[in-house]
Amino acid sequence: MDLGILGKVAIVTGGASGIGAATVRLLAQEGVRVAVWDIAVTETVGAEMIQSVDVTSLTAVEAAWRETEAQLGPVEILVHAAAIGSGHFGFPFTRVPVSAWEKVLHVNILGMVHVAHVAGPAMQSRGAGVIVFLSSVAGQMGSQTDPPYSASKAANINFAQCMAKDLAASGVRVNSVCPGMVKTPLNESVWKSWHDQQPPEKRQSYADWAAAKIHQVIPLRRWQQPNDIAAMIVFLCSARASEVTGQTINVDGGCVMHS
């Protein structure tokens, strides 16, 4: 299937690992020229350009955008996957110190705002572009595992819808993708924060903890893989999804089912 994105330029924030890295690889396979923005610079398969970018700094995002376009050309695709968890197990929510909220909200909400304020007007001025934000089913369910992360992802979904409405008349599409249970460093950090707060007799290995959680909350009863999420992201970036905007797409094995 021709996705109609051959030769386009894309930025993937958080593209050095996990779902972001899988997205970079799949975009590159479709002939997209990809720039990776990540706080941790590592070699990423398929990336033509790798930059160390702190999305919590608007100045840094603006500078990185200029450098990307100078080297690769006008950016037509933005995938924003950069995010963090609190590092605390939040059940009940009072177990998460208030101080832990600040960094999560700064990275996950203001980071999104910064890339939006740079990418949105640039794409709007050209009358074309696609933005996909990586959110989470936690943003739809009020997940108790990590309340700061859950709240920030709900904000991501809402703001993406605001952007989609604002930019639609200019031909710019904005969507969100929500993974379910994916084996990534962020997912493993959730297990670790739970594990470290349990008495020794209740602790489980990451594999056992994840297997039980998948059995409880994922109807398909299997992990979602980074490539599963990346495939949906790449589709939404493509000409095949030209009529899709303002949507929240779950790739979650059935975790969230709306009646």
Q: Is 70 part of a structural domain of the chain?
A: yes
Which residue range forms the structural domain that includes residue 179? 9-251
Confidence (pLDDT) at 120: 98
Residue range 173-212, pLDDT digits in tens: 999 999 988 877 767 667 676 677 778 887 888 777 777 7
Q: Is 181 a member of any domain?
A: yes
User: Active-site residue among 89, 149, 159, 209?
Assistant: 149
- What local confidence, expressed as pLDDT, does residue 259 receive? 38
User: Residue 202 sits in a domain of what CATH number?
Assistant: 3.40.50.720
3-state DSSP helix/strand/coil percent for the chain, to nearest 5?
A: 50, 15, 35
Q: Kindly state whether residue 256 falls inside one of the protein's structural domains.
A: no
- The more confident residue out of 199 and 160 is 160
Residue 224 has pLDDT above 90, yes or no: no
**pLDDT (average), residues 81-104:** 84
Per-residue pLDDT, averaged over 79-89, amounts to: 88
Q: Which residue has the higher pLDDT, 85 or 65?
A: 65
Structure tokens given for 40 = 């941790």
Residue 196, burial from CB neighbour count under 10 angstroms (0-12, 13-18, 19+): exposed
Q: What is the mean pLDDT of the chain?
A: 91
The pLDDT assigned to 191 comes to 63
Whether 206 sits among the annotated catalytic residues: the reply is no
CA distance 182 to 188: 9
Tally the residues of the chain: 259
Q: How many domains does the chain have?
A: 1
